[in-house]
Amino acid sequence: MSVNRKPACQRSSPELPAAALYVSPSLGRLWKKVHLACSPFLLRKAVRRLYQRPAIPLRKYLSTPYSLIALGCADGTKEAFLLKKLPRPAYVFAADTNLSLARRAADCLPAQQRGFLKIDLARPLPALRLPPSTSHLFTLFGVLPNLDPLPLLRRIAHRMSHADLLLFSANLAPGRSGFAGARKVLAQYDNPPTRRWLGAAIQAYRPKLPKGRLHFGVHPDPRQKSLARIEARWITPMQNLIVFSSRRPTTAQVETWIQSARLRSLSRFLDPRGEEGVWLVRPAAT
């Protein structure tokens, strides 16, 4: 029996699990160095303001007491910046792939009670033990670019009640063309600190990867061909392995994901350069 095979140029390259980049304390420290050197949040005041501007509508929609569930929180820097403009939550739950970062976030975020958890956001969300008497504010900062966005938003929406809120960020492709916009921001990824971090993850991964070289470029997302994705690929004589990827949608694409996940947009905040945005959403009425 003959089998139709796709040409090599059309086959999807295998991908390193996203959790492999953050799994150890040493990789968490290398990620932190990338964040300090390259993060637009730290380098540009206009981007930092994106994480405090939602405080105005949040005060309108958020009931108190409330709980903050910080998904993919890393060390909690952005969540802490937001909480400077909000009432102190009754409970903070910090969840990240890297347990040491989640613990650090829980320690630094102001709250009456705290908890933390190691979580893989590429899988269904576990049941979280949250105070039943509080409303819930979920945050998802800096995560959406690195995971399949629509299934992730749907998984979070499935865990939300009708009164819960989700505040999430997206790294955007500036301009009307997602691919041209992604190429404009490629230098935010292809730089020495990021290469050291990804190189360490490649060396630590098991089973051991063959020798190769790291290459950055802009490619179509395998599941949404109109979506631009910046990829770091480990190029070897045998195959190309996608070590890291970051989706750079247009604002219109993000709005489509919100609707498809059965969420409703309450507010949107955009960076003047069009490189980052923050959305406040809640479950759509059924």
Together in a domain, 201 and 140 = no
- The C-alpha angle with vertex 139 and arms to 138 and 144, in degrees rounded to 5, equals 120
Please indicate, yes or no, if residue 234 is contained in any of the structural domains: yes
Together in a domain, 79 and 165 = yes
What span, in angstroms and rounded, lies between the C-alpha atoms of 252 and 142? 19
Together in a domain, 243 and 264 = no
Instruction: Give 3-state DSSP helix, strand, coil % of the chain, rounded to 5.
Output: 35, 25, 40
pLDDT at 170: 96
What span, in angstroms and rounded, lies between the C-alpha atoms of 22 and 200? 10
Together in a domain, 128 and 262 = yes
Together in a domain, 89 and 120 = yes
pLDDT at 286: 65
pLDDT at 8: 39
Together in a domain, 147 and 32 = yes
Together in a domain, 82 and 153 = yes
Residue of 120, 77, 112, 78 lying closest to 93 (CA atoms): 112
pLDDT at 132: 73
pTM of the entire structure? 0.87
Together in a domain, 151 and 192 = no
Establish how many alpha carbons lie within 13 A of residue 108's alpha carbon, considering only the half-sphere containing its beta carbon: 18
Please indicate, yes or no, if residue 207 is contained in any of the structural domains: yes
Please indicate, yes or no, if residue 4 is contained in any of the structural domains: no
Domain harbouring 34, CATH code: 3.40.50.150
What span, in angstroms and rounded, lies between the C-alpha atoms of 21 and 83? 28
pLDDT at 285: 80
| Domain extent at residue 66 | 25-174+249-283
Please indicate, yes or no, if residue 7 is contained in any of the structural domains: no
Please indicate, yes or no, if residue 278 is contained in any of the structural domains: yes
Give average pLDDT by consecutive 10-residue segment, the chain, 286 residues: 37 82 90 92 95 96 93 94 95 92 94 91 85 86 91 94 95 92 95 97 93 96 94 93 95 96 97 96 88
Together in a domain, 242 and 255 = no
Please indicate, yes or no, if residue 67 is contained in any of the structural domains: yes
What total of structural domains would you count in the chain?
Answer: 2
Dihedral angle computed from the Cα positions of residues 156, 158, 159 and 160, in that order, rounded to the nearest 10 degrees: 90
pLDDT at 211: 94
Please indicate, yes or no, if residue 9 is contained in any of the structural domains: no
Together in a domain, 231 and 278 = no
Alpha carbon of residue 204 to chain centroid: 22
Residue of 91, 80, 90 lying closest to 51 (CA atoms): 80
Together in a domain, 128 and 263 = yes
Strand pairing class (113-118; 66-71):
unpaired
Please indicate, yes or no, if residue 96 is contained in any of the structural domains: yes
What span, in angstroms and rounded, lies between the C-alpha atoms of 119 and 85? 27
Together in a domain, 66 and 140 = yes
Question: What's the one-letter identity of residue 67?
Answer: S
